[in-house]
Structure 1
């Protein structure tokens, strides 16, 4: 079953959704597939204004538009998908935020783009499925880098030894950036099990980390290319 944000679902002018292994692109958004901009996600901070369907955007990890009928989306498989909307649905945005993007300020770049025209206080943000603090174990050096570069409580960044809480970091940043409301729509991409009896998969989401572990044990196990899930949003009227 597709994940939805309660905040975004309350805005009549938009459609959105966070995909999973059962529907990589949420069913409600599949009709708009061909309008998606062409882009290459590089764990960067570049935000591109989208003005026409299927626009070529080059390297981009964030998209912004006030044009109806254009599906903005990002692909993820453990990184954070974050969807943004003005509270009246008249403008929208998406970002792909892995640990590099969070450190380098992609959420701040999106906030800065919004503030060229508006105030973040007129916008809401929804964080989708991503690697959770329960499973996202990293080296201590990376934890310390986060603690050195971000003015956040150490326990929020790493609630247990050598684990990162990407969602908590993003929520903290978004609230400090002045967004009217922030919610978390989705669970851990690494460990969340599939409970849809119509689908055969053991896990609900595609996970780069889980897949890498499988491939280390069995080099013949397929990679995730073509199996990333989409998080998307479109202005419909």
Structure 2
């Protein structure tokens, strides 16, 4: 099943969804696939305003539009998909935010773009499935860098030894940027199982796949199998 945000579900005139292993592109968005912008995600902070279907966006990890009928998505496999909408559904945005994007300020870049013509207090956000603090172990050097560069409690950034809590970091940054509200949809991409099939994983995970390939080099990679999360202003 596709993950859904309670906040975004209350907004009129939009469709959204967070992909899973079974539905890499949420079924509610599949009919709009031909409108997708063309992009290359590079773990950066570039935000592109999309004004036409199939727009060439180059290297970018954030996308914003006020145009109905253009599907905005990001590919993820452990990084955070962040989906945003104006509370009246008249403008939308999506971000691909792994640890690099978070620490380098991609959320702040989107807030800066919104505040050029609007105010973040008119927007809500949802945090999709990503590597959870239960499984996302990193180097102590990276934890230290987060603690040094971000104005957030150490216990929020790293609730256990050498683990990062990407979702909590993103939620705190979204609140700091003045967005009206934020919720979470989905869970840990590394360890979450299908409720109906406990032996199977719910999400595609780059880290889990890499660990499998260390044990068994013949284990297939995930190229072309990243889930997509996105949003569209439905054309009238």
Q: TM-score band, normalised by the shorter chain? A: over 0.9
Cα distance, 1:220–1:126 mapped onto 2, change above 3 Å: same
Equivalent in the alignment of 2:96: 96
Equivalent in the alignment of 2:179: 179
TM-score by length of 1: 0.98
- Structure 2 distance, partners of 1:75, 1:194, is 20
Equivalent in the alignment of 2:110: 110
- Structure 2 distance, partners of 1:54, 1:102, is 27
**Structure 1 residue 201: deviation in Å?**
7.0
Q: Which deviations, in whole Å up to 9, do the C-alpha atoms of 1:23-64 show, x marking residues without a partner?
A: 000000000001010000000000000000010100000000
SS in 1 for 2:117: coil
Equivalent in the alignment of 2:44: 44
Does the 8 Å contact 1:156/1:169 carry over to 2?
Answer: yes
User: Is 2:214 aligned against 1:209?
Assistant: no
Does the 8 Å contact 1:21/1:201 carry over to 2?
Answer: no
- Structure 1 distance, partners of 2:133, 2:21, is 21
User: Is 2:31 aligned against 1:31?
Assistant: yes
TM-score by length of 2: 0.98
- Structure 2 distance, partners of 1:70, 1:40, is 17
- Structure 2 distance, partners of 1:142, 1:230, is 27
User: Following superposition of structure 1 onto structure 2, how do residues 123-202 of structure 1 map, counting pairs within 5 Å?
Assistant: 123-196=123-196, 202=200
Q: Which deviations, in whole Å up to 9, do the C-alpha atoms of 1:61-89 show, x marking residues without a partner?
A: 00000000000000000000000000000
RMSD over equivalenced CA pairs, Å: 1.0
- Structure 1 distance, partners of 2:222, 2:201, is 14
Aligned residues: 235
Gaps of 5+ in 1: none
- Structure 2 distance, partners of 1:196, 1:10, is 27
SS in 1 for 2:217: coil
**Structure 1 residue 117: deviation in Å?**
1.1
Equivalent in the alignment of 2:222: 224
- Structure 2 distance, partners of 1:128, 1:109, is 19
**Structure 1 residue 195: deviation in Å?**
2.0
